[in-house]
Amino acid sequence: MSNQVAVFRKESFNAAHRLFNPAWDEATNAKVFGKCALPNYHGHNYELVVKVTGVPDPETGYVMDMKELSDLVQELIVERFDHRNLNLDTVEFRNLNPTAENIAVVCWQLLRPRIPAVLDLQVRLYETPRNYVEYPA
């Protein structure tokens, strides 16, 4: 029996974005991305659930202190993306289409170096309560 436990912490950020491939003309963007390609942006209340998996420390009973995990997500993700325009205000999405899939991968890449290497990391990103993604799958 594995003695691994996963801990999850949910944080939120509100951001604007539009979906757009600069290699395509406007008509192709409109055809592929529909309303999501409208030029003046729309936005979402993003919810990010960070899952960290490992063996609890016998002295603390923690896989990882959720307060530390929360602080890390605040520092690395929320301060960067909250109340921002993902396309215009961030280096991460200057040349990367801010689909939910890509945002989740970027969040994972930003967090991974700061989570102890012995622990596994997965993120789930809610774009709306009905649309969400998980990385790695």
Instruction: Catalog residues that contact a second copy under the rule CB under 8 A.
Output: 1-12, 14-17, 19, 21, 23, 32-36, 38, 40-45, 53-54, 56, 59-63, 65-67, 82-85, 88-89, 96-102, 104-105, 120, 128-137
Least separation, in Å, of the C-beta of 17 and a second copy? 8
Examine the residue annotation and report whether 107 is marked as an active-site residue of this protein.
no
Q: Which is closer to a second copy, CB of 72 or CB of 98?
A: 98
Query: Which one of 11, 79, 83, 107 is the catalytic residue?
Result: 83
Q: Tell which residue, 73, 74, 113, 106, has the closest CA to residue 90.
A: 106
Query: Which one of 59, 75, 127, 134 is the catalytic residue?
Result: 127
Give the CA angle between residues 85, 87, 93 to the nearest 5°. Answer: 120
- Asked whether 95 and 21 are in contact (CB, 8 A), the reply is no
DSSP annotation of 75 reads: I
Encoded tokens for 24: 């395509």
Least separation, in Å, of the C-beta of 40 and a second copy? 4
Least separation, in Å, of the C-beta of 105 and a second copy? 7
- Asked whether 78 and 13 are in contact (CB, 8 A), the reply is yes
Examine the residue annotation and report whether 127 is marked as an active-site residue of this protein.
yes
**Paired residues of 64 in beta bridges:** none
Encoded tokens for 44: 């979402």
Examine the residue annotation and report whether 83 is marked as an active-site residue of this protein.
yes
Q: Which residues are catalytic?
A: 36, 83, 127
